[in-house]
Amino acid sequence: MSSSHGASAQALPKLMLAALGVVYGDIGTSPLYALKEAFNPASHHALPVTPENVFGVLSLIVWSLLIIVTFKYVLIVLRADNHGEGGVVALMARVLSRAADTPRKKTVAIALGIFGASLFYGDGIITPAISVLSAVEGLEVATPAFQPYVVPITLGILIALFLVQHHGTARIGGFFGYFVIVWFLCLAAIGVRSIVAHPQVLEALSPHHAISFALHSPKLAFFAMGAVFLTMTGGEALYADMGHFGVKPIRYGWLGLVLPSLLLNYLGQGALLISDPAAAANPFYLAVPGWALYPMVAIATLATVIASQALITGAYSVSLQLIQLGFCPRMAVKHTSGAQMGQIYLPFVNWMLLVFVLLTVIGFRSSSSLAAAYGIAVTLTMLVTSALAFSVALRDWQWPPLVCGLIFIPLFGIELVFLASNGLKIADGGWFPLVFGGLLSVTLFTWRRGRQLLAEAQRADTVPLETFARILDSEPIHRVPHTALFLNPRAEQMPSSLLHNLKHNLVLHERTVFVSVIIESVPRVPIEDRVEVQRLGNSFSRVFVRFGFMEEPDLPTALTRCAEQGLAFDPQQVSYFLNRETILPASEVRGMALWRERLFEFLFRNASSAANFFHLPTARVVEMGSRVVI
């Protein structure tokens, strides 16, 4: 469990400050574009700026934030942690750990988890683009002369953001928290300024305006739900980042600062719209005093950079979790901080995100156009989280089915309405995150199925490990000094690398160790449970090494603990034998479509090697090749 969960009262303020700098960037920058999308005449399905419509939309925003973000995420879903970790992948792993004996539930949980993770990447592409674009568009409010430079400035900021990722964020992370406090105080101040001028807008806090709007103007209310949802797009981050900070800092930060500031700002924008309908072109910046406009553009731009940073680092974390759980090809993982766990950098993910983010900005060119693509992927992710949380509440918390139904069925209903409203955006750009998420889901499912077919093909050509070890122990095979370590993903079978070594070199080492690395469906494995040693004969041993799906799989370091169980050797002095398979797709072998087999072969060939992934000393690695038909 994350240490933050057991944090003392003295540590709570620091954790709250750190959480503010990471967790709330996405949802905290929504005021830049959410209400604008509802009423801006240039937006699709824009609403007429009338007092009734403004009160109705504001009431929908208020109660959506209270029901979906506050009630669902802050009060319920934050309880559904996986040993202190949150997010759709951690939640999937929690459900999987209790569905081992029920293949159908396991399949459903995996499908939901992979689909939710794929949609998260779509969110990770759109959020930096729409956030930074909406901030820089404030320059157009100051003077239309800046209009041609909005996209180039946005591209420059995003390129700079991705270029510095390899340095890590540990050095500037502390500054983020203080700055985000300034940002939310500015949001509150802007809102209060307009509310004081038109205090009647506070009536929108009553839910009867939302209900009346939905009953008397159902078509307009349905269109408005797509814009209303933009105010909640960062809600999933509250859950995804809980492992770094714990539940209390996230809850207190939301209830004590973030939620009040957001409500005040949205109400202030609404008050401005009631008094000046022409402000619908950009109600956020037009609510700012003229003297503060340029400083506010600068502050908003930095706030959107922080929001983008949170999504980028979140994409790194999700990628690592998927790799560890076996749902994604291995990639190079670099740790950017020796003092702070979780500070990682994945070059491939970074550059792919950059390419797609830049293409998104160039393709859509404005925050209003991007808003049409935004929301549907996040809505689907929220539905996935609700489905998995429902399973946890029913099985783990043992809530009565009636209680689960009374809580989750209304939540499902509200989120399905949001999904249907966002579905209107598909033709206007909503297809983009769906296509991206769909292609990524197919890729991840293909990788998982390909690994299963590879294991089945290899299992047919191997023999039981314990039986063969006893035979080899008694055979007069020539022995060479030192220790040989064979990585063995199938613990019960003899590794192919040993069979190839015997076939070609006709020797065995004085001591042979078979190592099986197991990634558990928990974030971290206690250090005392890291290794398990089993003797298989005079010269053979089997070692199980266990890591959590959020841990760095440093195999040589883990193997030093074998000495505690009577198997002493220097991991830096052994010879590591790995099997390097060459995949041969074949249409005559039943398993999956030939195009998927070729896709798997491409992914397998370009995946990071096991030697790099497990931090094996390069000079001590011996790879034995084999060809496998799938």
The full set of domains in the chain, from first to last, is 15-327+336-449 (1.20.1740.10), 462-629 (no CATH)
- Say which residue the tokens 């009631």 belong to: 274
Distance CA 362, CA 345 (A): 26
Please tell me the predicted confidence (pLDDT) of residue 100. Answer: 60
| DSSP label at residue 492 | T
Phi and psi (nearest 5°) for 568? -95, 125
Antiparallel, parallel or unpaired: β 507-520 and 478-487: parallel
Please tell me the predicted confidence (pLDDT) of residue 221. Answer: 93
Report helix, strand or coil for 53: helix
Please tell me the predicted confidence (pLDDT) of residue 90. Answer: 85
Phi and psi (nearest 5°) for 25? -60, -45
- Say which residue the tokens 């040589």 belong to: 556
Cβ count near 134 (within 10 Å): 29
How many alpha carbons lie under 13 Å from residue 162 in its C-beta half-sphere? 26
Residue type, 488: N
Instruction: Give how far the C-alpha of residue 109 lies from the chain's centroid of Cα atoms, to the nearest Å.
Output: 16
Antiparallel, parallel or unpaired: β 531-535 and 621-629: unpaired
Give me the sign of the Cα torsion angle 375, 46, 366, 33.
Answer: negative
Phi and psi (nearest 5°) for 588? -80, -10
Cβ count near 186 (within 10 Å): 19
List the structure tokens of 580.
């390097």
Please tell me the predicted confidence (pLDDT) of residue 473. Answer: 78
Residue type, 618: T
List the structure tokens of 552.
């760095």
Please tell me the predicted confidence (pLDDT) of residue 274. Answer: 94
| Positions in the chain short of pLDDT 50 | 1-6, 339-340
Please tell me the predicted confidence (pLDDT) of residue 8. Answer: 54
CA distances for 401 relative to 73, 78, 79, 493, angstroms: 20, 20, 18, 44
Q: Which runs of consecutive H residues, i.e. helices, occur in 506-565?
A: 555-559
Please tell me the predicted confidence (pLDDT) of residue 171. Answer: 55
